[in-house]
């Protein structure tokens, strides 16, 4: 597999929380090469067993979420404009004037209406609109809209897939499709190796609306150890450097009270031994990722977290560096090669 190509394929698919069909199908298709029995459950979680644990071996699960943020249609007004609510943490400061796709019975293209300056001129407050105030313009009458759009259909902001300087790329939904690709890349690196652990993969639904898919998929897979793969904040000039990772500096190894200390340390040691660039991300409690949900499943799961540094999270122009994705996959592969050996 080619990492860039895999990410582009995954990002091109649509999967707003709760309606992950297309993204799940794309991920399933790619996962089947490594887990032929992989399947999609009724919640749109994708999961597959790569290798069953033998007696005494730990069962390891790798997780990345398949859903993306977006909007959900709540109303069609008399002029045919759609009203929406948010599915996940939409940055309302950037929605006006965006190109959108309404995923109804068929796709409708349109734009988010922006009031022209002559109507906002007196408003110096610079106040951002509530998501419920915006209008989606699909250029149709209410009757025409209703033929193809049902309340509850999802809306995504359209984005291109852009190759930037170096090995950096920008697109929608790199959160968390870049990590879906990292897991697939890890499986590729492990091909032909005999592991000493059971290995399953889940691409979980509804992370953005509260880590819900991971609860369900994780329960089914009964892990002893799990590693969540997600994106985290890469520094931009307007952010606090002490609260961000650095793009291009390798995976961010999560350290937190909710994560297994020994696993975190093992990632650091492995990165050093294998000369893989890495950085640490220390949090004071919950991590805001699926790691929080998976860690307390059934009788408890030893939890690790690796994050790919990403800029502009939750926007149509999320950015990652492919070198970070590759380094994360290498670290994860090194971890899986070792886990269960002599334990």
Residues near another protein, by CB under 8 A: 77-79, 81, 89-99, 108-111, 113-120, 126-128, 135, 137-141, 144, 157-160, 162-166, 168, 170, 233, 236-240, 243-244, 247-248, 288, 311-317, 319, 321
Closest approach of Cβ 135 to another protein, in Å?
6
Strand-pairing partners, residue 75, are: 83
- CB atoms near residue 307 (< 10 Å): 26
Distances in Å between the alpha carbon of 293 and those of 176, 218, 288, 313?
A: 16, 9, 9, 21
Closest approach of Cβ 293 to another protein, in Å?
17
Closest approach of Cβ 172 to another protein, in Å?
10
Closest approach of Cβ 118 to another protein, in Å?
5
d(CA 99, CA 91): 15
Please, what is the Cα angle at 264 between 27 and 276, to 5 degrees?
70
C-beta of 54 vs 158, nearer to another protein: 158
What does the DSSP 8-state code read for residue 245?
A: B
d(CA 337, CA 324): 20
Question: Does 137 carry a binding-site annotation?
Answer: no
Q: Quick one: which of 335, 12, 305 has its CA closest to 197?
A: 335
Question: Does 208 carry a binding-site annotation?
Answer: yes
What does the DSSP 8-state code read for residue 94?
A: G
Question: Does 123 carry a binding-site annotation?
Answer: no
Q: Which residues contact 198 (CB under 8 A, 6 or more apart)?
A: 49, 51, 52, 53, 54, 57, 58, 59, 60
C-beta of 200 vs 289, nearer to another protein: 289
C-beta of 162 vs 341, nearer to another protein: 162
C-beta of 128 vs 151, nearer to another protein: 128
Q: Does 188 qualify as catalytic in the annotation?
A: no
Closest approach of Cβ 149 to another protein, in Å?
12
C-beta of 52 vs 282, nearer to another protein: 282
Question: Does 292 carry a binding-site annotation?
Answer: no
Among candidate residues 20, 68, 207, 326, the one labeled active-site is 207
DSSP state letters, 14-45: --BTTB-HHHHHHHHHHHTTT-TT-EE-TT--
d(CA 99, CA 147): 21
Question: Does 65 carry a binding-site annotation?
Answer: yes
**Which residue numbers belong to the known binding site?**
65, 175, 208, 230, 314
Residues taking part in catalysis: 207
**Which residue numbers belong to the known binding site for Zn(2+)?**
65, 175, 208, 230, 314
């Amino acid at each position: 597999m080619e990492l860039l190509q895999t990410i582009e394929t995954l990002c091109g698919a649509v999967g707003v929380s709760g309606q992950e069909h297309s993204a799940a199908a794309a991920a399933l298709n790619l996962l089947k090469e490594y887990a032929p029995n992989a399947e999609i459950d009724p919640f749109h979680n994708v999961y597959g067993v790569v290798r069953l644990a033998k007696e005494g071996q730990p069962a390891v699960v790798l997780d990345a979420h398949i859903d993306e943020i977006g909007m959900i249609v709540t109303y069609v007004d008399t002029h045919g404009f759609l009203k929406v609510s948010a599915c996940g943490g939409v940055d309302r400061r950037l929605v006006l004037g965006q190109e959108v796709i309404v995923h109804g019975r068929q796709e409708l293209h349109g734009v988010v209406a922006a009031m022209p300056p002559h109507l906002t001129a007196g408003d110096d407050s610079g106040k951002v609109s509530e998501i419920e105030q915006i209008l989606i313009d699909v250029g149709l009458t209410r009757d025409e809209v209703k033929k193809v759009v049902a309340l509850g259909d999802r809306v995504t902001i359209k984005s291109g897939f852009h190759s930037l300087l170096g090995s950096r790329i920008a697109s929608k939904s790199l959160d968390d499709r870049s990590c879906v690709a990292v897991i697939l890349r890890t499986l590729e690196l492990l091909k032909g190796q005999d592991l000493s652990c059971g290995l399953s993969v889940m691409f979980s639904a509804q992370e953005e609306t509260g880590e819900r898919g991971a609860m369900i998929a994780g329960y089914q897979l009964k892990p002893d150890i799990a590693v969540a793969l997600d994106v985290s904040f890469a520094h931009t000039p307007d952010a606090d450097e002490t609260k961000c990772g650095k793009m291009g500096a390798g995976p961010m190894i999560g350290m937190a009270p909710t994560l297994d200390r020994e696993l975190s340390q093992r990632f650091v040691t492995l990165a050093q031994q294998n000369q893989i660039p890495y950085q640490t991300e220390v949090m004071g409690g919950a991590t805001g990722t699926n790691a929080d949900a998976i860690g307390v499943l059934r009788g408890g799961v030893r939890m690790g977290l690796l994050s790919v540094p990403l800029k502009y999270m939750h926007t149509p122009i999320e950015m990652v560096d492919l070198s970070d994705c590759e380094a994360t996959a290498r670290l994860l592969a090194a971890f899986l090669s070792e886990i269960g050996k002599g334990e």
